[in-house]
Structure 1
Amino acid sequence: MSGVLTFACGRTDRTEAFFTGETVLEGGRLAPLALPPPEIFPRALKRAEFDVTELSASSYLVHLSRGVSEYVALPVFLSRFFRFDSIYVRADRGIDAPADLRGKVVGTPEFQMTAGVWVRGILQEHFGLDHRSVRYVTGGLNLAGRKERIPLAPGPGQDIRPIDPAETLNALLARGEIDAVVAPEPPACFLDGSAPVRRLFPDSRAAEQAYFAASGIFPIMHLVAVRRSLVDADPTLAGRLFKAFVLARDAGYRRLEAMANAGSLPLMLPWLQVELANTRKALGHDHWPYGFEANRAAIEALCRYSFDQSLSARAVAPEELFDPRVLTT
């Protein structure tokens, strides 16, 4: 028996069943706490406040490589994103392809954030843009004051510098003091049209589908991790948790299908049914897979990118990220 375990996560269709009680943990109880991931991550990484937690995949990998992680992961991936649409460039700098970013100054909220790790890795591996050929500045996107959650130790050839803490990447981009931004959210000057800023990939969906067809990878952003002391004390816990998360994800699938096939639209999206069908045509019926083997290629790529970008202190094997009792999933 596990008793009550605190579980910090964003409330999404993948976790909703824990909040409604539709999915329960066999032999115990998960007490879900709905929190924004930017709040969860520092509380988990610095103080290990939660028994089970959603975590940045990159931050977890860096901590693991440095031997300072109090958590061990499950192959459960609560956030995934291709991120081709997360690259914003000045329209007046002649940046029409990834290679045009060579020698440019690119802003990103944190160099170690998972979205940026994937973007740099994909642009290098699939488009030939060495991440060391780009100068990076870090700081708050639309709000000033953001700092790296994890101290950086830049490697050879890397140029990574924080901006003035009173500045924002959005303001620098709008004034033309930097050439591009890579960020999970859009810069305000892109949304309001106040500066000549556009996406690097005008048809990001087509580019992402081509990338998936070539690689088979749907990039992982966040994973689930458990306090290591808990799984060491209870050898059955990791397996029971994994089973519960699969059931919760499957409940999310069912809700999505019900919404897509409803006679009256539950969301203000007129082509929801077609969208679900097109997603499954491109990515497969199980388009949000859990388990180690189904995600091996993505995990290997993230480990490779993290080490190449001088984030991981050592090369980490994909199997090291997870409790060994769930590696056969």
Structure 2
Amino acid sequence: MSVSKLKIGCFRYDTTRPLFDGTVPGDNLEYTMDTAATLPEIFERLIRGNEFDVAELGLTFHLRLLEPDSPFVALPIFPNRVFRHSCVFVNTRSGITGPRDLVGRTIGEFGTYGQDSGVWAKGILRDEYGFEPARNRWLIGGLEHPSAPFGFISHPHPENLEVSEVPEGKTLSAMLDTGEIDALFSANVPQCVLDGSSNVARLFPDFEPLERDYHRRTGIFPIMHTIVARRDLLQEHPGLARDVYRTFTAAKDAAADRYRHDRRLYQVPTMVPWMHALVEHNNEQFAGDWWPYGISANRVTLDTFLRYHYEQGLSSRQWKVEEVFAPELLDT
């Protein structure tokens, strides 16, 4: 279909870089790409500023907008997905040596209670280790810079859950380092960890084997973000959702093809030692498509996130995949 030039807001990933570079032509689309220094900036510019026709959005943000009714519709395009055993950090003097030691602790989370990485981490810890978020105190604020919880989205949580803001002028990273909080659920690695502070460590220091085992057992590769489009635009232009889907898929496939091609070059276009070994190792675990888009290949992962979202009191009911994504793309 033909539509006037779309404004697309998205982070620059391997999977989307061809869209920024213009190396993948739009499937009947004319578009301009825009990004931001941080992902929450993209989300806020979409939700509060109404700046984009199509944009990346965290799954939990999209689900919160669905109640009562969202101006956006999700497309089964997933530019950001990360295994999340690695996202739980602890103060080494807190006495936390395993998941069961989290009970009764003060835990920090960036921006909102139940950001996408936090939803996954809490859900996995509950399924695998019996973790109960309601048995902890939660502090919400800025990771590296003092800031209030996100002001552009609602903040649902169970009534029996103790959730409060980080004290004025404080940051979660510094509070973890000093022991003012016992643990931190964070999508980003805090600076105190990057600086090598002896006061902080991951809950699961050797996280890769755990995450690989989790994937082998469950088939789940956690999804953080989706792509959404303006509902009115999709209604005005039948076929637009599929055109956007095909264009993003072509960009992702082009990125995957680059890794396949670079196998014969030992992945020398990257500067990561033994990158070729990692690629070959992943080829053994991920059959065919490492990073699938569409509903069928991701239904188990999506159903699990929707269950976690409801169990954690972030949704008033458990949403179904068919209610969340564009009807014309449910066959993907």
Which TM-score tier does this pair reach, normalised by the shorter chain?
over 0.9
1:108 equivalent to 2:105? Answer no
SS at structure 1 position matched to 2:48: helix
CA root-mean-square deviation: 1.6
Q: How far 1:327 sits from its partner (Å)?
A: 0.4
Q: Which residue of 1 aligns with 2:277?
A: 274
Q: Which residue of 2 aligns with 1:220?
A: 223
SS at structure 2 position matched to 1:26: coil
Q: Which residue of 2 aligns with 1:183?
A: 186
Mapping of 1:226-305 within 5 angstroms? 226-262=229-265, 265-305=268-308
Gaps of at least 5 residues in structure 1 are: none
Q: Determine which of 134, 137, 141 is the counterpart of 2:136.
A: 134
Q: Distance in 2 between matches of 1:250 and 1:264?
A: 17
Q: How far 1:314 sits from its partner (Å)?
A: 2.7
Contact 1:155 1:310 (8 Å CA) reproduced: yes
Taking structure 2 as the reference length, what is the TM-score of the superposition? 0.94
**Percent of aligned pairs with the same residue?**
35
Q: Distance in 1 between matches of 2:242 and 2:23?
A: 19
Q: How far 1:112 sits from its partner (Å)?
A: 3.0
1:51 equivalent to 2:53? Answer yes
Contact 2:71 2:231 (8 Å CA) reproduced: yes
SS at structure 1 position matched to 2:90: strand
Taking structure 1 as the reference length, what is the TM-score of the superposition? 0.95
Q: Which residue of 2 aligns with 1:24?
A: 25
Out of 49-58 and 264-273, give the one that drifted further: 264-273
Contact 2:94 2:179 (8 Å CA) reproduced: no
Q: How far 1:195 sits from its partner (Å)?
A: 4.3
Gaps of at least 5 residues in structure 2 are: none
Q: Distance in 1 between matches of 2:327 and 2:258?
A: 32
Q: How far 1:322 sits from its partner (Å)?
A: 0.8
How many aligned positions are there?
Answer: 328
Contact 1:260 1:272 (8 Å CA) reproduced: no
Q: Which residue of 1 aligns with 2:119?
A: 117
SS at structure 2 position matched to 1:150: coil
Contact 1:138 1:162 (8 Å CA) reproduced: yes
Q: Distance in 2 between matches of 1:134 and 1:299?
A: 26
Q: Distance in 2 between matches of 1:184 and 1:144?
A: 17
Q: Distance in 2 between matches of 1:328 and 1:215?
A: 23
The amino acid that maps onto 1:94 is G
SS at structure 1 position matched to 2:41: helix
Contact 2:91 2:200 (8 Å CA) reproduced: yes
- Structure 1 residues 187 and 318 mapped into 2: Cα distance closer, same or farther (>3 Å)? same
The amino acid that maps onto 2:287 is G
The amino acid that maps onto 1:327 is L
1:149-185: CA deviation from partner (whole Å, max 9, x where unpaired): 4232331431111111311112211221110111112
Q: Distance in 2 between matches of 1:328 and 1:165?
A: 48
Q: Which residue of 1 aligns with 2:166?
A: 163
Mapping of 1:30-45 within 5 angstroms? 30-35=31-36, 36-45=38-47
Q: How far 1:204 sits from its partner (Å)?
A: 0.6
Q: Distance in 2 between matches of 1:44 and 1:307?
A: 24
Q: Which residue of 1 aligns with 2:97?
A: 96
